[in-house]
Chains A and B, each alone.
Chain A
Amino acid sequence: DIQMTQSPSSLSASVGDRVTITCRTSQSISTYLHWYQQKPGKAPNLLIYAASSLQSGVPSRFSGSGSGTDFTLTISSLQPDDFATYYCQQSYTTPRWAFGQGTKVEIK
């Protein structure tokens, strides 16, 4: 199985900060990597698909990059609504989809 490692597991940041979350996989998955945001008590919401494509309706301050084994989710200017937990997910090993362990973004 492909191992997925998100880092950091949590971070504290201020409104307006640039935030970067990393997802690393144990073997190459091309760009079969997607990012989700989840707020407490709510379902996850797709932000980025195929490593770098912005899902419709998602603010442009969110961006994704990477291919192979190293991927990044960037929030260019953190907003109050962005405090949440973020998950990466790979779909390379279909039909064995898997998520990273999550990164909690908290208010500093």
Chain B
Amino acid sequence: QVQLVESGGGVVQPGGSLRLSCAASGFTFSNYGIHWVRQAPGKGLEWVAFILYDGSNKYYADSVKGRFTISRDNSKNTLYLQMNSLRAEDTAVYYCAKDGISVAGSFDYWGQGTLVTVSS
């Protein structure tokens, strides 16, 4: 079955960096684009970033552009999110989500999430 497992979250000071990972299994990872979506405590869902199946194109929300970098290693079935210059407003649970098999742009499988807390 499809599994996505995030890791790498934690507490970091404002201005600091963190790298999240998302390990995928149960599907052909190299055939699908993958998203990062975040959810601040008590708030709604916010799309963060997307990478095409082969890593050739990457897209970012305006709120993280220039600070976050999405990447993937298809040989390791793993997605990454490098987060730099972190701000308090980046505090959230970060989910990786697989692009939909039936309709691209829907998110058909999600990981359990990893919490990032930006605080001094």
Binding site for B on A (CB under 8 A): 32, 34, 36, 38, 42-46, 49-50, 53, 55, 87, 89, 91, 94-102
Contact = CB atoms under 8 A, between A and B. Distances in A.
Contacts of A100: 44
B47 A98 contact: yes
Interface residues of B, number: 23
A29 to B, nearest CB: 11
Given A50-B102, A53-B102, A102-B44, A95 B59 contact: yes
A43 B110 contact: yes
B100 interface: yes
Contact of B103 (A87, A91, A95): A91
A49 B100 contact: yes
Given A46-B108, A97-B50, 12 more contacts: A34-B103, A43-B113, A44-B37, A45-B110, A49-B108, A53-B103, A55-B102, A89-B106, A91-B105, A94-B105, A95-B59, A99-B44
Given A44-B110, A45-B110, A46-B100, A99 B105 contact: no
Contact of B45 (A53, A87, A91): A87
Chain A interface, >50% SS class: loop
Contacts of A36: 45, 107
A46 B107 contact: yes
The 9 residue pairs across chains A and B that have the minimum distance between CB atoms: A91-B105, A95-B59, A43-B110, A97-B47, A99-B45, A34-B106, A49-B106, A49-B103, A102-B44
Interface in B25-42: 35, 37
Nearest to A45: B110
Nearest to B50: A95
A91 B44 contact: no
Nearest to A99: B45
Contacts of B80: none
Contacts of A91: 103-106
B46 to A, nearest CB: 7
Nearest to B105: A91
A77 B96 CA distance: 31
A53 B103 CA distance: 10
